[in-house]
Amino acid sequence: MEETAYWVAWSRVPWVGAVRARRLADAFGSLAAAWEADHFALKGAGMDDRAIGSIVHERRKLDPSRLMEKLAAAGIGVHALPDPGYPSRLREIQNPPMVLYVLGEIRPEDEWAVGMVGTRQVTSYGRAVAAQLSEQLARNHVTVVSGLARGVDACAHKAALDAGGRTIAVLGSGVDQPYPWENRGLAERIAERGAVISEYEPGTKPDARNFPPRNRIITGLSLGLVVVEADRKSGELQSSLLHRA
């Protein structure tokens, strides 16, 4: 748990992503040890001046143990990149999240997962297709992964839950800030029967810039991806294809 706390702390430091975090862990033996490193040691580990300045500034404000206490008090779980509970397929994508915040539970059976995304302006036909596919996946013990958005996403989540299956919602905001607001009740249902997850720290408000990166997590969790009624140039389709590798 101690090392996870430091992964959470490092994830809050600008200019330090998964690649640099792994470099620091390799250089110092752990991110806990790296947290105590001075300017010269960080320089020797390959950090540039911008990253070092950010590190020195942020760690004055951050207490890793206190961060974990706040998460526990809010009922929010966390999986760091090296943790056994971190989804193995997601770990292999080009830019994996350093940490995943979780309401609910990610389970081993969620390795059998299919992503489903699409337009927010779904037609009645698209709604029926999304619901039917999600229901069949859920009945065959395949977890349905989507993004809690209006339209296709909400249809997919609801159908999986109604079929008694598991579903995972990946947010472009903190797990305590579900968006859109009318899907808050749906998010609560998902947390009870699956998981609501995000790479963004709790309290993070929805922001348009967060949603394309969110899609790489949906695809990274999934064995395959179903895109329902998305225009060829849509963000759903482009982000899903670009972040698959």
For residue 79, report the phi and psi dihedrals to the nearest 5 degrees: -120, 120
Joined tokens for residue 9: 């702390």
Question: 178 and 58, same structural domain?
Answer: no
State pLDDT tens for residues 33-54. Answer: 999 999 999 999 999 999 999 9
Could you report the per-residue pLDDT of 50-95, keeping only the tens digit for each? 999 999 999 999 999 999 999 999 999 999 999 999 999 999 998 9
The reply to whether 83 falls in a domain is no
Chosen domain end from 73, 92, 115: 73
Residue 148 lies inside a defined structural domain of this protein = yes
Same domain assignment for residues 119 and 212: yes
pLDDT of residue 120: 87
- Summarised one tens digit per residue, pLDDT across range 115-145 is 999 988 889 998 999 999 999 999 999 999 9
Residue 93 lies in a domain: no
Q: What is the mean pLDDT of residues 11-20?
A: 92
151 inside domain: yes
Specify whether the backbone of 219 is left (phi greater than 0), alpha (psi in -120 to 50) or beta. alpha
- Burial of 104: CB neighbours in 10 Å, binned 0-12, 13-18, 19+: buried
pLDDT at 242: 43
pLDDT tens readout for residues 225-241? 999 987 655 555 445 44
Q: Is residue 79 part of a domain?
A: no
Q: Are residues 119 and 185 in the same domain?
A: yes
**151 and 230 inside one domain:** yes
Q: Hey, what are 68's tokens?
A: 């974990």
In percent, the amount of the chain with pLDDT more than 70 equals: 93
Q: Is the pLDDT of residue 192 over 60?
A: yes
What was the pLDDT predicted at 80? Answer: 97
pLDDT of residue 165: 98
Q: What is the CATH number for 188?
A: 3.40.50.450
Same domain, 117 and 67: no
- Domain carrying residue 202: 104-242
Q: Can you give the pTM of this predicted structure?
A: 0.91
In a domain, 95, yes or no: no
Q: Are 237 and 188 members of one domain?
A: yes
Domain boundary (73, 95, 116) is at 73
pLDDT at res. 244: 45
Q: Which residue has the tokens 């706040």?
A: 70
Do 122 and 238 have their domain in common? Answer: yes
Same domain, 124 and 179: yes
Mean pLDDT, the chain, whole residue set: 92
pLDDT at site 1: 58
The answer to whether residues 130 and 207 belong to one domain is yes
**Residue 128 within any structural domain of the chain:** yes
pLDDT at position 235 is: 52
Cβ neighbours of residue 105 under 8 Å, at least 6 residues apart? 77, 194, 195
Query: Which pLDDT score, from 0 to 100, does residue 219 have?
Result: 95
Indicate the number of domains in the chain.
Answer: 2
Q: Which of 73, 88, 121 is the last residue of a domain?
A: 73
Buried b (16+ CB within 10 A) or exposed e, 47-72: beeebbeebeebbeebebeebbeebe
